[in-house]
A and B are shown apart, each in its own frame.
Chain A
Amino acid sequence: MKRRFFLIPLVFFVGLLIFLGLGLRHDPREIPSPLINQAAPAFDLPTLTSDQRFSPKDYLGRVWIFNVWATWCVACQAEHPVLVAFAKSSGLPIVGLSYKEIQPQDEEKSPLSLEAKLTLARLRSRVWLGRHGDPYQLSVLDLDGKVGIDYGVYGVPETYLIDPQGVIRYKHIGPMSSEILANEVLPLARSLQKGS
């Protein structure tokens, strides 16, 4: 009788272990974005290459990937080859969002006009894409980061999958891996394409 009493801590601990083990299978980074299954927030931004502007409604009817990046972002550099390869192999259109390309230190000496910021951002981004490869159909410039806020960007890079109705169906925070793209994003994109 008394011996059984001494087993209580062990039993309690085993129960705890089971839950910790189950907890391990869940990815804490998988923050359920409130934006999933919501319409992608609208915007209208200048693109990298020309004076054309882009808005998500231009891509209604297509399944596309929206990728937040910046030349100053080190993790984006790590992610980049994966995106380049994926763009080639899958044929899915990827739209880039160049996020806050102009950083405070760029304006160290003197504040830049919007025009100057745009020119500098375009120049730098094009050089960077020229060197690392360009996976994007087009890339838009979010200089003040407001679109980033609408999309709930936690940190660069982030990736969204948007369906033909303009609804966000998937979000990934942090660098993409080819495994995630092949096992999660691509199957989802294909099923969305079939559904449309």
Chain B
Amino acid sequence: MLVELGHFALMLALMVALVQGVLPLLGTVSGTHLTWLPHSLRWGWVRLARASTFLQWGLVSFAFFTLEWAFLHNDFSVAYVVEHSNSLLPKPYQFAALWGGHEGSLLLWVFLLGFWSSAVAFFSRSLPLSMVARVLGVMGLISFGFLCFILSTSDPFVRVFPPAMEGRDLNPLLQDPGLVIHPPMLYMGYVGMSVAFAFAIAALLAGRLDAAWARWSRPWTVIAWTFLSLGIGLGSWWAYYELGWGGWWFWDPVENASLMPWLIGTALIHSLMVTEKRGTFKAWTVLLAIASFSLSLLGTFLVRSGVLTSVHAFASDPARGIFILVFLALVVGSSLSLFAWRAPQVAQGGFVNLVSRETFLLTNSILLCVATLAVLLGTLYPLVIDALGQGKLSVGPPYFNLVFAPIMVPLIFIMVPGSLLRWREAKLQDILPYVWAPGLGACVVSVSLCAWMGSWSAGVLGGFWLGAWVALAGVQQMVLRLKRPGRIGGSFWGMQLAHLGLAIVVMGVTGVKSFEVERDVRMGIGDEVQIQAYTFKLIGMQDVKGPNYQAVRARVQVLKNGQEVKTMLPEKRHYYSSAMPMTEAAIDSGFLQDLYVSLGDALQGDTPQWSMRVYYKPFVPWLWVGVLVMVLGGFLAALDRRYRVGYAASNAQGVLSPQTARA
């Protein structure tokens, strides 16, 4: 019964989303159109925006939690629960199983969209009501599209009769703490980009692309970007310890789908800054805002339609694919048309000097866009080739590594001058006193790291140098800023930390790519394998029983220079519900390196032997630390007091401005 109520609530939410998407937008149409409508009526429509947003989110939340209730109570009369849960499944995984499949993931999407819309509705007291109405209207239309999609092709509330005795269980790959948090974080990022998008569309509709618009968009974009960073980082971390291959980034289409909005989102954050401070790059910023959300939608399309095969593509249904494609065409097509129509009128570009912060930020934007295009090309190339009937192929890491690195190198290099140079007009000589120290320091750091690892190459030296260059320059700027008086805003710390985090990631990537040692060996009890200073000795095997699986666990003793330092326990799990055995790698994380052991199959032979992967992975912890520092920076920047002080309302214009002046 509760499930039916949830289903019904979702249908009601669809109706409310339609109201939220249409009436407030109509209400804000400028005075020369729709004059036959009484002003009071349109004013009422505009005021509907907030109420309908809250109502819609309430209804979607109710639907969401009734489905959660069905999962937690093992209601195997619901088809979706049967397919993705099991009574033996531990409770946290039963809860997370809701987003373990296609239908539930979409419900999570709409739920988070409702959350973001409500957040905008709640934290927009300083905005003119007409702007709020437009933003929420655009978000309502997006929500309407997704709700149509769920109810017409991907309904998670369908019952089965007779009820199943037991569920088929969640895919063992997804039974992991990482899955409990990775998709919600990633979706928070994806969906959060819709706020920047809605602001951009609202600004185009209103015909005002100005500093106020950029200032409103900035915190929302930064916070969405932060969640996206966290989601990508968690996904990478999950792949690293759960898939058992020891890799942390595979250039899988789904990973690319999340990386592209992140790259464009990064460009957008920087471009918004220029638009706010200098009033230039307006059209470019709007385009980036449209692109970042379009790429989020494209990511959803690629994953959910199953156009590209991937570990993640658990849904392959042409009807769904066509729906998403049409939806994508409508949303992105109409916004780009609006862009082509309105942007030339409202965006007057300003003059930019060659040497100025603006130029460096524009270069940053362009490099990030080029990187995104390179990733997009690599991701879609197999699809294009297939569509042209030229057969099936896949584009692998060699392409991406080859193309991505040369774009990243100049991008990371200019982070330092870009953050030092003054706006408008600057001289390169001015920043010289601030760059020689980090430059030299970075040389020392990279040489000593290489000496310590005992291996040299231009690539490694260069990678370490770049990371250290950004990190040291950041530290220097922070120290200098602390010496000067005055309150330091969250956005300063946010920017410095985000840059520092990226620097740590860059050094981590350089280190792990250059110094990792991977050995695939066969080992019997008592056998040893030596990697660098470490000796791995297999000392025993035992059977272990988990709640819904049973496993073989190896005991591997790790010795460093003859001294025992650690016992590692990799497992091979057989889940009762699945034929596929799962690898649980044992990872020993230190400050500078990971030791990684994963257990393979038992091998036939006279004495029992197992295939084992024994990896020495230096610098891997740096990746996770770097991402966390970036995320911390993102939160600090988004929470800057400046954004909460309501001076945005002062330059309110538009059709309903008389009434909104008090807001």
- Closest-CB distance, A20 to chain B (whole angstroms): 6
Query: B340 contacts A20, CB within 8 Å?
Result: no
| Interface pick from B300-308, B418-426, B506-514 | B300-308
- B367 CB-CB contact with A under 8 Å: no
Query: B333 contacts A14, CB within 8 Å?
Result: yes
Q: Kindly list chain B residues whose C-beta atoms are within 8 Å of the C-beta of A19.
A: 380, 383-384, 387
Q: Kindly list chain B residues whose C-beta atoms are within 8 Å of the C-beta of A72.
A: 579
- Closest-CB distance, A152 to chain B (whole angstroms): 15
Query: A32 contacts B307, CB within 8 Å?
Result: no
Query: A20 contacts B336, CB within 8 Å?
Result: no
List the A residue with the shortest CB-CB distance to B573.
Answer: A104
Q: Mark A140-151, 1 if CB is under 8 A from B, else 0.
A: 000000000000
The total of interchain contacts (Cβ-Cβ below 8 angstroms) comes to 91
Q: With A and B bound together, what is the CA distance between A16 and B328 in angstroms?
A: 11
Range of interface residues on A (Cβ < 8 Å): 35 or more
List the B residue with the shortest CB-CB distance to A14.
Answer: B333
> Which residue of the partner chain, among B306, B309, B550, B579, contacts A108 with CB atoms under 8 Å?
B550
- B168 CB-CB contact with A under 8 Å: yes
Q: With A and B bound together, what is the CA distance between A21 and B383 in angstroms?
A: 10
Q: Kindly list chain B residues whose C-beta atoms are within 8 Å of the C-beta of A6.
A: 283, 339-340, 343-344
Query: B313 contacts A28, CB within 8 Å?
Result: yes
- A162 CB-CB contact with B under 8 Å: no
| Interface pick from B63-71, B230-238, B314-322 | B314-322
Task: Knowing A28-B309, A28-B316, A73-B579 are in contact, say whether A21-B325 is a contact too (CB < 8 A).
Answer: yes
- Closest-CB distance, B158 to chain A (whole angstroms): 15
- A42 CB-CB contact with B under 8 Å: no
Query: B384 contacts A3, CB within 8 Å?
Result: no
Q: With A and B bound together, what is the CA distance between A16 and B298 in angstroms?
A: 10
Task: Knowing A3-B344, A24-B307, A28-B313 are in contact, say whether A74-B383 is a contact too (CB < 8 A).
Answer: no
List the A residue with the shortest CB-CB distance to B308.
Answer: A28
Query: A24 contacts B318, CB within 8 Å?
Result: yes
- A50 CB-CB contact with B under 8 Å: no
- A100 CB-CB contact with B under 8 Å: yes
Q: Kindly list chain B residues whose C-beta atoms are within 8 Å of the C-beta of A51.
A: none
> Which residue of the partner chain, among A20, A29, A70, contacts B579 with CB atoms under 8 Å?
A70
List the B residue with the shortest CB-CB distance to A144.
Answer: B604
Query: B579 contacts A28, CB within 8 Å?
Result: no
- A105 CB-CB contact with B under 8 Å: yes
Q: With A and B bound together, what is the CA distance between A82 and B333 in angstroms?
A: 43
Query: B579 contacts A23, CB within 8 Å?
Result: no
Q: With A and B bound together, what is the CA distance between A160 and B85 in angstroms?
A: 31
Query: B384 contacts A156, CB within 8 Å?
Result: no
Task: Knowing A72-B579, A105-B576 are in contact, say whether A13-B333 is a contact too (CB < 8 A).
Answer: yes
- A90 CB-CB contact with B under 8 Å: no
Q: Mark B367-385, 1 if CB is under 8 A from A, else 0.
A: 0000000000000100110
Could you list 12 A-B pairs, sorted by A, with CB under 8 Å? A2-B344, A3-B340, A6-B344, A14-B333, A17-B333, A21-B325, A23-B308, A23-B384, A26-B386, A28-B307, A29-B306, A155-B580
13 more A-B residue pairs beyond the given contacts A7-B340, A29-B316, A73-B579, with a C-beta to C-beta distance below 8 A: A6-B339, A10-B337, A14-B333, A17-B329, A20-B380, A22-B387, A23-B307, A28-B309, A31-B309, A70-B579, A72-B579, A103-B579, A156-B579
